[in-house]
Chains A and B, each alone.
Chain A
Amino acid sequence: MKAGGSAMTVVMLAIFVAMVIVANGYPAGARFMPFVVGIPAIGLCVLELVLDVRRRRESATALPAAAPPTAVEDHEAPLSPQQTLRRELVLWAYFLSLIGGILLFGFWLTIPVFLAAFLRFQAGASWTRALLMSAVTLALLFAVFEQAFRIELHPGFVTEYLQDRLGDGS
């Protein structure tokens, strides 16, 4: 049993406890369902923690077993925990940059920059290929959302602010 499993149980327990405490301040009708769901969930989280401890004890005393066969064949050497963590952090950084970029600068500015950067630095594509793929994707999305669906995408707070300032100035 991995410690990560218990950590997730603790996170879930914290979420349920917090939501039940908040729900306690609602009128009876409104807190009914959160209680019906939350209280048994808290009980189950506690039970799961107890079971985790039991499994850890069992596995500590048991002989090491052979690794179970996996459904998907792995052709590459397994990553070390440090390598995995580093890759995870990089990917999360890209994802958060995309979301942050969209919120600040809008979809149309962020998408091409994000795609080009990811394809070049993370996927190892050449600059030409990365820029070409970004441009084609941008054109396709623009055609679908702006031209076909007429959906106005988030312009970005900074972009909006600058547009307002430039508009005031002219």
Chain B
Amino acid sequence: MIETMFGSLFVMLTTPKIMGLMLVAVVIGIIVGATPGIGGRLSIALAIPFVFGMDMIAGSVFLLTMHAVNGTSGQISSIMFGVPGDGDDAATTLDGYPMAQKGEAGRALGASVTASGFGGIVGAVVFALMIPVLEPVVLAFSPAEFFLLAVFGITLIAFLAGSASIFKGIIVGLYGMMLATVGMDPQTGTARFAGDYLFLWDGISLVTAVLALFAVPEMIALGVRGGSISSVSREAARFSYRQLFHGVLEVPRHWWLALRTSVIGAVIGMIPGLGGSAAAWMCYGHAVQTSKHPERFGHGAVEGVIAPETASNAKEGGSLLPTLFFGIPGSSGMAVMMGAFLILGIQPGPAMLTQHLDVVWTLIWALVVGNVMAVIILLVLTRWVALLTFVNGAMLVPFIFVLVALGTYVSEGRWENMLVLVALSAIGYGLLRANWPRAPFVIGLVLGKIAEESLHKALQLWGMEFFLRPLSLVLIALITVTVAYAVYQNIRPSKVRQPMGASP
């Protein structure tokens, strides 16, 4: 394994094409992260058409690097203007913005960028350390467990994403699974829900579905809102490099906190659905609880910037683990990433450990190298990247629409997918307007095919008795407990119901 581990790093560092792609991915990731209105998963979906024709290593490294550095630049608006780009950055606002108000914007940015990079690297290390531990567990899984794991994954993600009602989350997840059945049934050769439309025989295009459910509704919502996220003066975006350097030094000064929150973030990332927002808030709380001076938090404590930033970037390494080895995406961003992996020919599952360990190690190193690159670039360019937060949302919308149309067409080269895009976009916008979670849809769509395939295999191997396998019983128990708790949460009087802080 050591040979594979360092061999992957050597190949990556000595291949100019890969390093060049990573550099491009880091720059795009930073721009996308700092620009209001474009989230991580949206950027992956939009980038998928551009990785067609790349080999699996180059394409996956490009997309993962872009996704990994997204959050590093996302906190700029939180600190400079008190306006978080997304849920992941909201915790950073609590202390980052007061620091900026006190004239310490550079220090806060230096600390947050370095903490993000540090978190990303520790997340990758935690993932790497988990490989030998998880190997026997993953290899013990049979088709029966993979089917139940898919069901458990959807249940868990629906539970965590559906803050108002778990049923809504599960319904959306099942809708994704239902759409996964569209097309030729591999068992009987029946064209399900496709009629005479040949383009549907291969199923619903994942790229089209993701763009329809996320990109189009988000852009329409952004267009409706209009305006840039920042209404403060551009003068506020100015600070000295000396301040930035002082901020960088805050991370080694608080190394023990940064390490703890990074590990917590990586572990939270491994739990499907919890996402960066929960990781950031939990680690912010941890920093407050363990501080000797908790009264400083909320008034510009640098630990309040370091803790959430390390956690939200460390969770990317953690969420890659269930995505690659179990085929259960750790977050909605990872669900889109998993779809991209499938398009590139990477089939998540136990084979990643037995046959494609080199790919796994390359992805781990991509997280490490990508984060280092992002920190260096951002420390030099933060001052200019901050200006992106002044971009008018209405100016972005038409360009994203064009990229959506291109992505939809290029993914399969079929004009009919445009019609599917319009139909699914209407449903996606309906879900957004009604405040329903959309992440379970992608996970359902991705897991639907895996679940059906595993179910048929399990039934052929053990008949209906596959439910009685020991590992299956454990998973059934977990599904039952999750659903029972959710039912309790929904049925009990609403005055005692607490909303859950999870990403959509």
Contacts and interface: CB of A to CB of B under 8 A. Distances in A.
Interface of A: 2, 4-5, 7-9, 11-12, 15-16, 19, 22-23, 26-27, 29-30, 33-34, 36-38, 40-41, 44-45, 47-48, 51, 55, 58-59, 62, 68, 71-73, 75-76, 79, 84, 87-88, 91-92, 94-96, 98-99, 102-103, 107, 111, 114-115, 118-119, 122-125, 137, 141, 144-145, 149, 151, 153-154
Given A7-B434, A41-B174, A71-B87, 6 more contacts: A5-B436, A9-B171, A22-B193, A33-B451, A118-B397, A123-B392
Contacts of B171: 9, 12, 41, 44-45, 48
Nearest to B430: A8
Contacts of A8: 430-431, 433-434, 436
Contacts of B90: 71-72
B177 A47 contact: no
A4 B402 contact: no
A137 B402 contact: yes
B425 A95 contact: yes
B101 interface: no
Given A41-B175, A95-B220, A114 B418 contact: no
Provide the main secondary structure of the chain A interface.
helix
Contact of A137 (B181, B229, B399): B399
A22 B83 CA distance: 48
B402 A98 contact: yes
Contacts of B24: none
Contacts of B190: 26-27, 29-30
Contacts of A12: 171-172, 175
A119 to B, nearest CB: 6
A131 to B, nearest CB: 13
B410 A30 contact: no
B231 A75 contact: yes
B398 A5 contact: no
Contacts of B425: 95
Contact of B181 (A5, A37, A153): A37
Nearest to A99: B418
Interface residues of B, number: 72
B74 to A, nearest CB: 13
Contact of A94 (B398, B493, B495): B398
Given A30-B190, A71-B84, A118-B398, A16 B421 contact: no
Contact of B223 (A11, A15, A55, A87): A87
Interface in B255-300: none
B418 A37 contact: no
B475 to A, nearest CB: 16
A15 B170 CA distance: 15
Contacts of A30: 185, 187-188, 190, 192
Contact of A145 (B225, B406, B415, B451): B406
Task: In the A-B complex, list the 3 residue pairs whose CB atoms are closest, starting with the nearest.
Answer: A118-B398, A30-B190, A8-B434
B401 interface: yes
Contacts of A73: 82-83
A34 B187 CA distance: 13
A125 to B, nearest CB: 7
B53 interface: yes
A84 B87 contact: no
Given A5-B435, A124-B394, A51 B490 contact: yes
Given A12-B175, A26-B190, A154-B409, A111 B394 contact: no
A115 B402 contact: yes
A33 B422 contact: no
B277 to A, nearest CB: 9
